Structure 1
Amino acid sequence: MGGIYDDNMIGVLKTGAMSVLPGWGMGMDADVSLLTVSENATFLATDPATRAKLILRVHRPGYHTRAEIESELAWINALRASEIVHTPKPRLRSDGSLVAEFDHDGVSRHVVAFDFMAGEEPSAGDALVDGFFKLGAISARLHGHARQWARSVNFVRKSWTFDTTLGATPHWGDWRAAPGLDGASTALLERVCHHLEHKLMAFGMDKDRFGLIHADLRLANLLVDGNRLGVIDFDDCGFGWFGYDFAAAISFIELDPIIPALKEAWVEGYRTEAPFLSADTEMLDSFVMLRRLLLTAWIASHPETPTAQEMGTGFTNGTLQMAESFLSAEGV
């Protein structure tokens, strides 16, 4: 592992996370181990005496402000209070705050903690169709809550629009920096972007199709435990198109032959809780293409992560394959 998450930095972050553990009622003698590295570094802390577990998320600097993090946790708490979704509880510190900080070389690193939630990531296969029916219903409940929830005046989260994904101010960097692109392939993706920009502009951002979403409901952020489907990691939640939550759910498996069945199941599940119009359904493939290009940019801008290292140029090649199929289907 290299870049900002090399082995030395993981050690620094682990030490920093341990230093703020007492504020969550756990001693610095806790067993702390790395779980994942993606946008942030996530650790599992286990109390040696009670075996109580706590999930610690150490935030990447420069991505979310403290106000944005507190807003994420406020939505999670509101969702839990309304019993909208099974998701881990953010843990309050002894001083009543939800966010801790430690300093590293003059940079403040934010840390949050969640209760441990048991479960396994869903595996690809026929059983995933039933899971996507459940996920569609969960998505509808999330969106329904977002429409009616009276947010604090201090609530602030990023927006996922064309400009902030593939346009002038992308949150995850420029897809043009993706490994393996040449002049011809860049031109192909430029055509896709141009077409997506026009489609999204025509679709619009009315409140019935654009609002507060999870924005990262991929398989790695779902936990199956018996009949329960839990949702974790609201770190990317923000304002976007409701249909984008389906696109995020099939991240990294977009080329799997099961995708049409997953899309049908997700829409059917959604409609058990709320309307999902034919115009919304017709946009799902566009959201999938948008998400795939956004992930292509993410891999280019996060080369130190295991995901980016695993995907490499093969992911870019898959994006190009999808781009050709998408433009053909769109008649462009």
Structure 2
Amino acid sequence: MYDETFLKRLETGLVRMLPAWGLEPGTQLRLLTISENATFLARDPAGGRLVIRVHRPHYHSRAEILSELAWMASLIEGDVVETPRPVAARDGRLLLDLDDGGELRHVVAFEFMSGEEPKASGDLVRWFFRLGAITARLHGHARSWRPPADFSRKVWDFDAMLGDRPLWGDWRAAIGLDPADRPVLERTAEALRSRLEAYGMGEGRFGLVHADLRLANLLVDGERLGVIDFDDCGFSWFAYDFAAAISFIETDPIVPELMSAWIAGYRTVAPFGDQDAAMLPVFVMLRRMLLTAWLASHAETPTAQELGPTYTEGTLRLARAFLDRPQ
């Protein structure tokens, strides 16, 4: 989908929409990221900056996007987490539509937040301690918040990830997966299903989560750790947020330290039981297989093109180690 022609078409359409947010003539657009969506930075001649997200079609409904923005607004109002505020158009709408050759693409805008992605080295353990505390505050808010009556977000349970209704594609289509290795992942998926069923989806374990707290969605500026991109937020296991945080670095030797730091940080804000901690490797394996499926179904993205079969090979190594551990 996101080839050069398509991106240029999106950019042309967005330029026409810029006055809707009061941006001046001469505002420059720059592509920031391509993942599930395409995200652009708009910089006007006076130095003002706005981040504009064009949603992938047929992924989130209007109600789901507005629900994401409603949770973000409540988090900001409650000073739960530092995250960019959604920006309404001049007519008050938070969600606009871009007409792309007769197909409408949902568009939302956010304040610009300064900072850089934490590096997978150095102070990362310290930042994961902070992230654990932030995650605990997010979960505390989710447990006590009463969402609007029309609140709608996806449910990230086993079936939505690896089961009968996979939202990110079938892991069996993993890039470069040898048919001879497929039984390894089949056994792993069944082991995950069994462990998750035993763990359960009780109120204390399952609720509204960010679901994508990976390094690319964290912004460090001095001592501030900001969180961006609630696009995947939905209902899942609270402990899954740690697994999402180590996306794409699951095999790094630093992960055990990150896990310990995250748990310690979480416990400065709220309890995190030993049973929950023991489930973290399960959620790491679940997330790894989910991302393996995502790469296959989003092969046009820079991430998929960069990682390709190498990521699938790493998933197999992790799966074999997971199956070898006592369950």
Q: TM-score, normalised by structure 1?
A: 0.97
Contact 1:18 1:28 (C-alpha < 8 Å) held by counterparts? no
- The match for 1:320 is 316
AA in 1 matched with 2:168: W
CA distance in 2, matches of 1:76, 1:64: 16
**Counterpart selection for 2:235 from 239, 249, 252:** 239
Partner of 1:137: 133
Q: 1:10 aligns with which of 7, 31, 40?
A: 7
Matched to 1:126, the amino acid is G
Instruction: Describe the SS at the equivalent of 1:36.
Output: strand
Q: What 5-or-longer segments of structure 2 have no aligned partner?
A: none
Q: For residues 122 and 114 of structure 2, what CA distance do their matches in structure 1 show? A: 23
How far apart, in 1, do the equivalents of 2:175 and 2:88 lie?
42
In the other structure, the counterpart of 1:114 is 110
- Which has the larger displacement, 15-24 or 115-124? 15-24
2:286 corresponds, among 287, 290, 295, to 290
The residue that corresponds to 1:34 in the other structure is 31
Aligned-residue CA RMSD (Å):
0.8
- Within the alignment, does 1:164 sit opposite 2:160 as a pair? yes
Does structure 1 residue 270 correspond to structure 2 residue 266? yes
Aligned position for 2:214: 218
What are the equivalent positions in structure 2 for 1:37-116 lying under 5 Å apart?
37-48=34-45, 50-116=46-112
Q: Comparing 127-136 with 94-103, which one deviates more in the overlay?
A: 94-103
Structure 1 residue 119: deviation in Å? 0.1
CA distance in 1, matches of 2:197, 2:4: 44
Distance 2:17 2:269 in 1: 41
CA–CA distance in structure 2, aligned partners of residues 190 and 330 of structure 1? 18
CA contact (8 A) 1:20 1:101 kept: no
Residues 25 and 44 in structure 2, CA contact (< 8 A), matched pair in contact too? no
Q: CA deviation at 1:28?
A: 4.8
2 CA distance for matches of 1:226 and 1:44? Answer: 22
Kept after mapping to 2: 8 A contact 1:20/1:100: no
Structure 1 distance, partners of 2:113, 2:119, is 18
In 1, Cα distance between the equivalents of 2:305 and 2:319?
A: 22
Q: Per the alignment, in what secondary structure is the counterpart of residue 5 of structure 1?
A: coil
* Letter of the 1:320 counterpart: L
Cα distance in 1 for partners of 2:232, 2:326 equals 29
Mean Cα displacement is larger for which, 9-18 or 309-318? Answer: 9-18
CA displacement 1:167-213 (0-9 Å, x = unmatched): 00011000110122122211000000001101111111111010000
Corresponding position: 1:24 with 2:21: yes
- In 2, distance between residues paired with 1:232 and 1:63? 19
Number of residue pairs aligned between Structure 1 and Structure 2: 327
Taking the aligned partners of 2:51 and 2:142, their CA distance within structure 1 comes to 25
Per the alignment, residue 253 of structure 1 pairs with 249
- Secondary structure (helix, strand or coil) at the match of 1:103 reads strand
| SS of alignment partner, residue 87 of structure 2 | coil
**Would you say the 8 A contact 1:19–1:28 is kept in 2?**
no
- Secondary structure of residue in 2 paired with 1:212: strand
**1:129-164 deviations in whole A, cap 9, x for unaligned?**
000000000000000000111100110000100000
State the shift of 1:270 in Å: 0.3
Aligned partner letter, 1:168: D
Counterpart-to-counterpart distance in 2, 1:75 and 1:5: 29
The percent of aligned pairs where both chains have the same amino acid is 60
